[in-house]
Structure 1
Amino acid sequence: MTVAYIQTYKELIGQRVAEGDPDTLAVDMLKAAADHKGNFTGRWSEVLDRLCELPPDTRKVLCDALVDQYHADQAGPVARDNALTLLGIVSRGLPDDYLAAERLKKLDELSRRQSVWYGSRPEAVAEAELAAGRPLAPAVVAVFRRAGMETYGSKPLAELAAKLTDPVLNVGEEWAERAMRDATDPDWLALLAHATTATAAKPSAKWDRRAMALVAVLGAERVRETVLPWFALVGRPRTFPLERHTYEPDVNNAYDPYNANALRGLTWLLSLLPPHPDTTRALGALVESSLKKVAGLGPRSPKVANAGVVALARVDSEAALAELARLATRVTYKNTVKLLDTALEARATALGLSREEIEELAVPAYGLTDVGRVEHRLGEATATVEVHGAKTLLSWRNAAGKTVRSVPASVRRDHADELKELKAAAKDIDKMLSAQSERLDRQFLASRTWSYATWRERYLDHPLVGTLARRLLWTVDGTTAGYADGALRTLSDTPVTGGGEVRLWHPVGHESAEIVAWRDWLERHQITQPFKQAHREVYLLTDAERTTATYSNRFAAHVLRQHQFHSLAAVRGWRNKLRLSVDDVAPPATRALPQWGLRAEYWIEGDGEEYGVDTTDSGSYLRLRTDQVRFYPIDAPENSAHCYGGEYSMWLRDGQDPVDPLPLSSIPPLVLSEVLRDVDLFVGVASVGNDPTWQDGGPGGRFQEYWTSYGFGELNQSAETRRALLERLIPRLAIADRCTLRGRFLHVQGERHTYKIHLGSGNILMTPNDQYLCIVPKSSPSAPQAGYLPYEGDRTLAVILSKALMLAEDTQITDPSILSQL
């Protein structure tokens, strides 16, 4: 609205007042509001100030006219909304309660939104309700609080939000409503109110002093026992949904930002209490829950996750340090990773240790007295906690020493607290086992060495880590050894009783005959490794890569699901930027290898041009196309390319010279193999060729050729490893007489058809004419009963075996979606 236009309306107000024509003035104001699409900000404030300066009697007449316009036959929803807003502004200080019912209806509509637009001056409607002596409904309070927190919000909105102190938290989240039911007396309300003031990244000394004073009144134990159950409810579905418009983030799965401040404050507060295992568990779970992805938004609430890390870093206990170390293996969100790194580095510096050592020493025993086992006597019953592979089992014996299936009644009755702690510890062990398995899997490129005594203490004989270390192969002073029959043994089962330097064994550099011999040794001792080691894929330089010299095309020309690739890359230690369908550039997916002074790059680009078909609602590409793998010195300038494709080029700053990619022949074989294995994993998991529902080629059928070539084509290295394992495994299956391995397929003879299961994708062809059979596996297929397996974690192997067992008995299939294709 121009200055001249504003001046015209200010003069018009004076003219209508002088003429005694409030009806026409009301029409003029509503027309102006409509012309400017209900935006009452900017220079509009001068016009509104002029209206508010009118004498009370004049404003009363104008309000009556606005009420008439609200009820006019020609008034639509927009005009009525504008009339309510103008009434809220003009009627300030007047005794009449204009359009009370209509105002309540409007406020009720607003309460179902995540936020409100400050330009429409919604606070005027709320202020009018407060002026009438009625409090705002809790859901209305919530929306104005959220709106008041937005950085682009107006001062009036923020001022209104600051006045809304009741209820103490926003309704709509289960944890907050539970907290308000529990915290009814003034002392509890004061504590919650203080928690909502946690608006900084870290607590100040002043904030802590106030928190400690509030805790002292209530009692630390009471605060902990009351607050922790609230944390267990964080992240549950909202108690009532908010409206979500197309292309907006999924606000119903995100945290309420006002309550998120309170959560941050509560985490800080818990860190001031005496250390307790339950506190550590709750904080760790809160970090992971807060980093779960929400469509169109990203992590639910990074600030709450970061607060959980800050709180854990402030807790001086072994359990808190262990939780920080566990989270460091799981968390991939960049800012939270930085906080975890800082916390662990600070603890390492304080103890005079390296970061790697602090992660090793941080792993607790969880009460295990032997490697993977402990017994607890609870009255006349005995509980046994025992680690079996990747899971912890809790079993019971009664007074007579007989194993019983369920928890004895006497334990439930007389030892409820001990039982609760045992179950919680079992869950903790499962989480830590997964984290430590991932940490060990990353040690190949870390090139770590240990003294023999240190290694035995931290790995082989550690009550928890030992359950993993005893299933792996190690080199002791250059001699390969594994643990079996109560001792560390060589390939000929000769015991190894000491040594100097220990390393984690890797197949690179070892002869094929030796590798096969160790596979036989593992099978002979029925050892299932926690991840592929003896069966680990080895990627040696090919003739094609010697020809290209500085790059590998081994994993080029694939189509990957972007978000699945992005998550998997982060877990494997790669840095990647989501490609958006916008005019922007991005670096390739990169993995820094500081121990080797190298940086690996996987060149990718967004695929497609149709918004909403090739992208999410928020504009990120659904799929990527892949290109070269390259290596550079770790400090070389960064390459980048446009998000939707084009040449990569090196971004040079401050007079930097370009740096050439390194010859692949100069890359240490272990590094080359592990990097290419990562990339093979990305393709093997994220390729659209793995999707059994894409037999039509996806959107527009344009991926038909790729889907067919990948889903039934030549086997990659991991599929070749799978094939070698199946050659040994199939003869032991109950359906062995119905199964044959031929080339790229496992052939299964059923009663209805013969089926060919591709060993790379798990896709199926059946007779006659290689007709495609679509079977969509469960998201997490359970391991089939196939007897001994030499390693854990191959989901595709589990899918193939499950399909084979089902198709061999195809007359027993009852699933209608499968039967219709047979």
Structure 2
Amino acid sequence: MINLSIILSVTLYALWRALFTHRVSHSMLSTKLYSLPELFADTGAEQELRPVLIALTEEASDKPYTIKITDLPAYATVCEESPRFRGRIALALTQAMTECVRQQNFQLRFTMTDILTALMRTRMQLSQEEYVNLFRGFGLDFSKTDYEARRTGLGLYPFSLTLGQLQKLLKKEDIQEATRAYLLQLLNYLETHHLNETKASVKIREMLGVTEPEQLPKLVFPTNDAFGQALTEFVRTLENGPEAGSWMRLLQLCQKATGAQPTAKFQKEAGAAVAAVGTELVASHIEVWLSALAKLPVQELNRTNTYGGHTYTYTERHFLSGPNQELAKGLLWISASLLTPTMLHSVAELAAKCYRKIPEKGQLAASLGNACVWVLAKGGLPGVAHLSRLHGVVKQANTQTLIGRSIEKAALELGMTPAELEDMAVPDFGLQGGRAEYTLGDYRAVLTLVGGKAEVQWSKSGKPLKSAPTALKSTHGQELLNLKLAQTQAQHAYSAQRDRLDRSYVADRRITWPRFRRYYMEHGLMEKLVHPLIWRIHHPDGSHQDALWLQDAWRNAQGKVVPEPTDADTLQLWHPVLAATEEVLAWRTLLDENQLRQPLKQAYREVYLLTPPEERTRTYSNRMAAHVLRQHQFSSLAKLRGWRYSLMGAYDKGYESDAATLELPVQGLQAQFWVSEVNADEAWNATGIWNYVSTDQVRFVRGEETISLPEVPPLVFSEVMRDVDLFVGVASVGNDPLWRDNGGLPVYRDYWESYSFGELGEVAKNRKLALERLVPRLKIGKVSEIKDRFLVVRGKLRTYKIHLGSGNILMEPNDQYLCIVPDRSVKTTTDVFLPFEGDAVLSIILSKALLLMDDDKITDATIVRQIKR
């Protein structure tokens, strides 16, 4: 059955494309009620203006969508005339627009709005009385009682631009009493009707010259979010207080926060406003407000509209209203000179929230997130540390670029590379050897980094406690908050630095021994990361030594002590592609014997070498081709690994967005992973985005030239192919046990079968190696064994083959498919040491094996029915 919403979306897009590329006359979109000469005559336009008005309106009505109003010949003619002439044209257009509204000729009225908006951006000469008449023509005539007519002046006319023109005039001449009276009516109307016109209110106050605290109108904030409600309550508590005027000016200044960065004027005024209130008082309030903003939930509001006899229901996600976002931006800008560790943490958390992608919308509040980045860049090394973490969290390419440039700018100012700056910026949180102790009254808390997790353990008189004592909340509340903050930040920093180390492979970075010793080996947090890792120590003579820090000494793969690096040496993260197979196996044995778990996959890292088919094709690899991936999941994975990718939609057929790309600046290369849309069985979502893509070639290019694969450095080739294998291994529909039974794409069911139970990829081969060591040590060992591509489990009722790649299950004797959807909230744990971070599929395989070995005890009716079928 065809989805009508999809047809509507695609049809509307096709119409838009047609309008964009072809001239569409005004008469195609609306019906003129009478001719333009009649319209301008009836509305009282001056005789000499009518030919200009007619020509301008006709050209604007008939122009293609690719042409701007300002590019029209008639508009250029108007601009050549005097400012007074343009003002008269504006007045005549406003009168004509009012008539268009009365006659319901909305298309012509929209055309005139575009013309008037363009004119209001030029120099204009009108009197105060004429500006007031313009506002009344916008529907803001307070001698009338029609609320709807007034409200249109705010959204359907260039209200803000016109107000700005009047403000310029009043800077040159004294305000007239009639103008003052009208502006007071307008200000009262804006604030009493809560129309979210904060900027307009501020402009009007300035024109009225309202400066004394007792003269200041009440500050009004939109109260459709918790932030606006909190500020409204805060201002209410200030009434008649000694600090009211100073706070009012500060918050009014924040309401002017427009643009990407604060101007010099804003910063100067902010400094004076903060000083008037008191630096410590402002800092304490902003700290609370930013913390609240970072924790403010995103509201999901269900909206229902009726149009054309049909009712439409949709979900709208609301964070902050527009005016409140700008006020929050102003508070952020002001905070740059008041930053505390708590404030920096809140700014970083708020940035991550603002950059979060909202379905069918995009980033939650990008401009506010950008303001957070600006503040963090002003926060010195602690701010850079937060930027470094944020760079690895956000997925949008333009945002990653913005953050990267902020780090580069800070590094340039300090005369170092961004990587060196990030080294220096990592806080240690008071840790020594991954451990910090705190004494709070009679209690002792120990913050430790264990297995990649920041944990706090409590005790009293040597006796362990399960959690923080409740009694401390009243006696040591702030210390508890500081400890919780340190735990959270230590966890964030550890994860961010682990990911940064993992990304450093393709950067081919070498670190001098003095810097490595200071910022890695002897750093309270970083040492927990670098000690379990293998490093290649490069000597000045060109030789090297691979070593790992173990038992207070540098040791080689055989466990023998080797000399400590010298100040002339450099260190590089070791990669198995750089070593012989025997050495890789020796390192794995050393890790196993010493129960040393690496924070990232290194000794067990997958290696991708050129294959004979790739040597024959030379310029591309088809190793990962012909897979079907869930496009949204693939997109998320790609961006997390630093790749750029744009979702493909049914409207562009993938012609412009058919590859995920990874920039490799050190090598001057770009890796490309080609994909195509899967156009089958209505395979797109409600917004016209394809649900699935099929994979194609992997290529490397330099500029416009495709590079031969043997020319690509082996480490870079291996890491790129590892990423692509990850995309396929996680996003493939073959991993979904319900995909076939839920319908999937019928034409691709053969692919699902072949992937779900086919040959193992490099990741699955490593998983097999781990299971060969794990299974004999587990309770499933007596009833399980590894056979080819499967973990075979002998239950009481049947025998099961769990595929080591997908985790899907076949039942003997007839290879009947068994669908078990794992509960991902339940983590499978074992007491057996694993020398690398376990992957999700490994946990799923173990949980399924543990379940199926006692298949006679399974109570889930869906599973039992399949087994006994």
Shorter-chain TM-score range = 0.7 to 0.9
Distance 1:411 1:700, change over 3 A: closer
Rounded to whole Å, the distance in 1 between the matches of 2:300 and 2:395 is 31
Report the secondary structure of 1:800's partner residue. Answer: helix
Distance 1:93 1:45, change over 3 A: farther
Return the match for 1:265 from 330, 342, 348. 330
Rounded to whole Å, the distance in 1 between the matches of 2:481 and 2:102 is 62
Return the match for 1:469 from 505, 530, 534. 530
Report the TM-score when normalising by structure 1: 0.78
1:67-466 aligned within 5 A: 92=141, 94=143, 97=145, 118=156, 141-142=195-196, 168-184=220-236, 185=238, 186=244, 187-234=246-293, 236-237=296-297, 241=301, 243=303, 251-253=316-318, 255-273=320-338, 275-316=339-380, 318-368=381-431, 370-398=432-460, 400-408=461-469, 411-466=472-527
Q: Which moved more, 1:375-384 or 1:553-562?
A: 375-384
| Count of equivalent residues | 713
Counterpart residue type for residue 320 of structure 1: G
Give the structure 1 partner of residue 678 of structure 2.
Answer: 607
Q: Deviations over 1:308-327 (max 9, x none)?
A: 010111223x3222112222
Distance 1:390 1:244, change over 3 A: farther
Report the secondary structure of 2:458's partner residue. Answer: strand
Distance 1:393 1:133, change over 3 A: closer
Using the TM superposition, give the Cα deviation of residue 248 of structure 1 relative to its aligned residue in structure 2, in angstroms.
Answer: 10
Instruction: Report whether the alignment pairs 1:5 with 2:28.
Output: no
Rounded to whole Å, the distance in 2 between the matches of 1:573 and 1:337 is 9
Report the secondary structure of 2:699's partner residue. Answer: strand
1:582-731 aligned within 5 A: 582-583=651-652, 585-586=656-657, 588-608=659-679, 613-633=682-702, 636-637=703-704, 659=705, 661-696=706-741, 698-731=743-776
Report the secondary structure of 1:585's partner residue. Answer: coil
Q: Residues 396 and 403 of structure 1 are in contact (CA less than 8 Å); yes or no, is this contact kept in structure 2?
A: yes
Distance 1:401 1:296, change over 3 A: same
Distance 1:31 1:480, change over 3 A: closer
Q: Deviations over 1:576-611 (max 9, x none)?
A: 22223234523622222222232211111222267x
Report the secondary structure of 1:527's partner residue. Answer: coil
Give the structure 2 partner of residue 640 of structure 1.
Answer: none
Give the structure 1 partner of residue 175 of structure 2.
Answer: none
Rounded to whole Å, the distance in 1 between the matches of 2:452 and 2:810 is 34
Rounded to whole Å, the distance in 1 between the matches of 2:814 and 2:767 is 26
Q: Deviations over 1:131-189 (max 9, x none)?
A: 899967989624x779x99xxxxxxxxx9xxxx98763322222332233234323444
Q: Which moved more, 1:568-577 or 1:667-676?
A: 568-577
Using the TM superposition, give the Cα deviation of residue 203 of structure 1 relative to its aligned residue in structure 2, in angstroms.
Answer: 0.4
Rounded to whole Å, the distance in 1 between the matches of 2:259 and 2:458 is 49
Rounded to whole Å, the distance in 2 between the matches of 1:212 and 1:559 is 57
Counterpart residue type for residue 310 of structure 1: W
Tell me, which stretches of 5 or more residues in structure 2 are unaligned? 1-30, 45-97, 116-135, 160-181, 202-206, 208-215, 239-243, 306-310, 539-543
Using the TM superposition, give the Cα deviation of residue 488 of structure 1 relative to its aligned residue in structure 2, in angstroms.
Answer: 2.7
Report the secondary structure of 1:676's partner residue. Answer: helix
Q: Residues 591 and 597 of structure 2 are in contact (CA less than 8 Å); yes or no, is this contact kept in structure 1?
A: yes
Using the TM superposition, give the Cα deviation of residue 625 of structure 1 relative to its aligned residue in structure 2, in angstroms.
Answer: 1.5
Counterpart residue type for residue 264 of structure 1: K
Return the match for 1:534 from 603, 614, 619. 603
Give the structure 2 partner of residue 22 of structure 1.
Answer: none
Give the structure 1 partner of residue 78 of structure 2.
Answer: none
Q: Residues 176 and 230 of structure 1 are in contact (CA less than 8 Å); yes or no, is this contact kept in structure 2?
A: no
Return the match for 1:486 from 552, 557, 570. 552
Q: Residues 577 and 714 of structure 2 are in contact (CA less than 8 Å); yes or no, is this contact kept in structure 1?
A: yes
Rounded to whole Å, the distance in 2 between the matches of 1:133 and 1:724 is 74
Rounded to whole Å, the distance in 2 between the matches of 1:310 and 1:746 is 52
Counterpart residue type for residue 329 of structure 2: R
Q: Deviations over 1:476-510 (max 9, x none)?
A: 34222223333332233223341233221111132
Rounded to whole Å, the distance in 2 between the matches of 1:716 and 1:360 is 35
Counterpart residue type for residue 263 of structure 1: A
Using the TM superposition, give the Cα deviation of residue 11 of structure 1 relative to its aligned residue in structure 2, in angstroms.
Answer: 8.0
Give the structure 2 partner of residue 739 of structure 1.
Answer: 784
Give the structure 2 partner of residue 67 of structure 1.
Answer: none
Report the TM-score when normalising by structure 2: 0.74
Report the secondary structure of 1:419's partner residue. Answer: helix
Give the structure 1 partner of residue 71 of structure 2.
Answer: none
Using the TM superposition, give the Cα deviation of residue 421 of structure 1 relative to its aligned residue in structure 2, in angstroms.
Answer: 0.6
Give the structure 1 partner of residue 642 of structure 2.
Answer: 573
Distance 1:90 1:206, change over 3 A: closer
Instruction: Report whether the alignment pairs 1:784 with 2:810.
Output: no
Using the TM superposition, give the Cα deviation of residue 90 of structure 1 relative to its aligned residue in structure 2, in angstroms.
Answer: 8.1
Rounded to whole Å, the distance in 2 between the matches of 1:419 and 1:93 is 57
Rounded to whole Å, the distance in 2 between the matches of 1:526 and 1:307 is 46
Q: Residues 792 and 802 of structure 2 are in contact (CA less than 8 Å); yes or no, is this contact kept in structure 1?
A: yes
Using the TM superposition, give the Cα deviation of residue 817 of structure 1 relative to its aligned residue in structure 2, in angstroms.
Answer: 4.8
Using the TM superposition, give the Cα deviation of residue 277 of structure 1 relative to its aligned residue in structure 2, in angstroms.
Answer: 0.6
Query: What percentage of aligned pairs have identical amino acids?
Result: 36
Instruction: Report whether the alignment pairs 1:758 with 2:788.
Output: no
Q: Which moved more, 1:702-711 or 1:494-503?
A: 494-503
Return the match for 1:748 from 793, 797, 801. 793
Rounded to whole Å, the distance in 1 between the matches of 2:512 and 2:312 is 57
Q: Deviations over 1:107-145 (max 9, x none)?
A: 9xx9xxxx9973899xxxxxx9x9899967989624x77
Counterpart residue type for residue 195 of structure 2: V
Report the secondary structure of 1:702's partner residue. Answer: helix
Counterpart residue type for residue 640 of structure 2: V
Using the TM superposition, give the Cα deviation of residue 622 of structure 1 relative to its aligned residue in structure 2, in angstroms.
Answer: 2.2
Counterpart residue type for residue 467 of structure 2: S
